[in-house]
Structure 1
């Protein structure tokens, strides 16, 4: 007999789930208080070392020795190394003393630990005298969304507030690009490349597309190798490859990560993917795949009036020069307006979403519209908020991007969603808790020009 607590939607199930959710909220506040107390203790340890040195008017080396001694004492109780404690003391002092409003918001439950450390991580790129101004804006934004969602916005905010332009700092940092080999265990190593963000994102995207192409066509390629598609026998092969090659393809069980790593090695060592069937004649299907990146470029940056950062959707800021270069290389420019008078398709009788609507939705949504998800729109599916099979229309007011994970969750669990005016999604959990998901702030907004005053006729003489 099935336990009533395991029956989704049952009274016992919902009561049990409500208790778990309530505990999660209470424990979150309790854990925050304990974590902040630990940070204050570590900050106090750092100040004690500073006071000791100040009393002796000692050199920097003496201060470091005092700090090491205190860190070793505290580390003995916490059962961590003195180096770790010393590092954490520095981090604690930065947060407790440099960002007090952030600590207060965290302690009150308005933000969580991830928000607090994100504010410090992004804010410390600014001069210390600007930290208070930065955290005031950052806290307000963090109260509305999850840490992974606001990371890009806080990075761009810090870049725009910085007294030096983002382009200048990017050029300076780009000089440090490199490739490093980090030895690992069991005969493995990490190959780490530090590159401009748009280049790194493009490399990862192309590898992902190639890996998916290999995985999705395993059966087809195995059949083609055997000659089945050409009326041959199981022992035949269109290129003379032995039958066991087809068997190897058919039994290939590598994950996307594994195929992505193998394709990277093929490209770097041999210049072509090893599984590209037409590589010997022309650029094969895998080699023809090119990376796609989704970039939001403010109009002022595009025209060169502003030198601020641009947003690589789902990732992080990129430099304006790269954004302008990519924009200049595109073959088509389209203006997208949420207004039927402009010619943008806003509805259709068919289930399929026309390309014009899809482009508009990508610009509007930017990422998956489930609360907290940052999967870029170009990696998501366009979902009918009200199911098309149940009468939902294919129109902008009933469409939104969802990643595969959250699209499936909407279909097969008790989570429900409805779309309000302006592309706002209102999600309702199985317990009836609601989460408002506003459409992201657009990078460019078009407003009508102020109409000229009505003609009053000729002026009197």
Structure 2
């Protein structure tokens, strides 16, 4: 998750004055002529700009290059507009077909349903979901669209939010974007500032702001749009604050070089109190030999307060929970250059991992394939086989195996790729980690997964898209030949030294039992 997404993504389509799904007339054109005209409007500008760029002469001076860059910018905006139309029309078609299917089967189910439909109906009842609800339709479609676009679910959901606003509430903005007259950022800001407004106020906003959007910078346009929104929004500032408090949360995202960041979204008075308290502690009793910057002292004080307790409080009972996987063979071969895996984050230096392991109450011994990095076995000395299988999946999958999902392994459960009722075995080859949400997708919403011979899992979406999921613990995918269903067979030698490091060395043989009573005394 990027910092920009973490700090600005507060959009909610329920704050837009939209009609219910399946009833948005603009996505249901009557007659082939209307559909042909709509299709022409969507892609005519794209075709014209692409053709101009393709058939243009080779560039001979910077002015011509700048002209081509401008045309590319126009083309990118036109494509964004077309993408918005396709997103909204596609999800509307899904909603319409789901409603029609529900109406057709209401009088015949369960007698007229197939075995697959019966299984999905039972699973939907088990998970307590209605597959025809707007929320479930949107969630499943966003996941499919993310596969098609090869983007995250969060980014695709944000695109769908903007697309619905453009398609149904801001048609003039969509038209300007499709012609390349305004930037995509301006179009996104226009939709963002239509939240909590009436359709009449939205039309007033478009009329006032579109002329500005054609010439102003994105930053300048954003400021104007926010000011106009405050004037048009009938809700008082106090009411907006009370509503915003319901969204308080703590968000985590990864940063490069073994770092990560936390965002606390809370009432301003609380956040400023926390910040001022940290600053006050940082200014007290500063050691003249302390070479840390103020920013570093602030970070260290907040870290110590959360993990060890504020100074003079005797500490906190909360202890850091950290799960680290240390590939034993890699640690043995080259501990200085090796990398371990911090659960939920990724690779960290081996030295940091070994330091964490010294303070950990227990350590999971892991054997990884030196060529791919995939976990191939775990220590079974202290665990029953079922626990050992879960340990194997924790270090092999690292996170939920659903396309694009990054929920940590600790928040997932073991799922049979081939269902137990269909003869699937409880084994590493037929098991994967799935979070609760995506177990529901698989069992109740028509998503299918198939285990492949090379260790990957092939997913098929409800509308026929295919996606191959490789275990998160795999570092080298060159051996995963999905098309030919084969992978190189590599021999891994386990020396006595490696076995001792993993704790797998055979125990010494017990002494022979005594043959005579006098030997018992000795």
Q: TM-score, normalised by structure 2?
A: 0.34
Greater RCO, CA 8 A, separation 6+:
2
Q: TM-score, normalised by structure 1?
A: 0.38
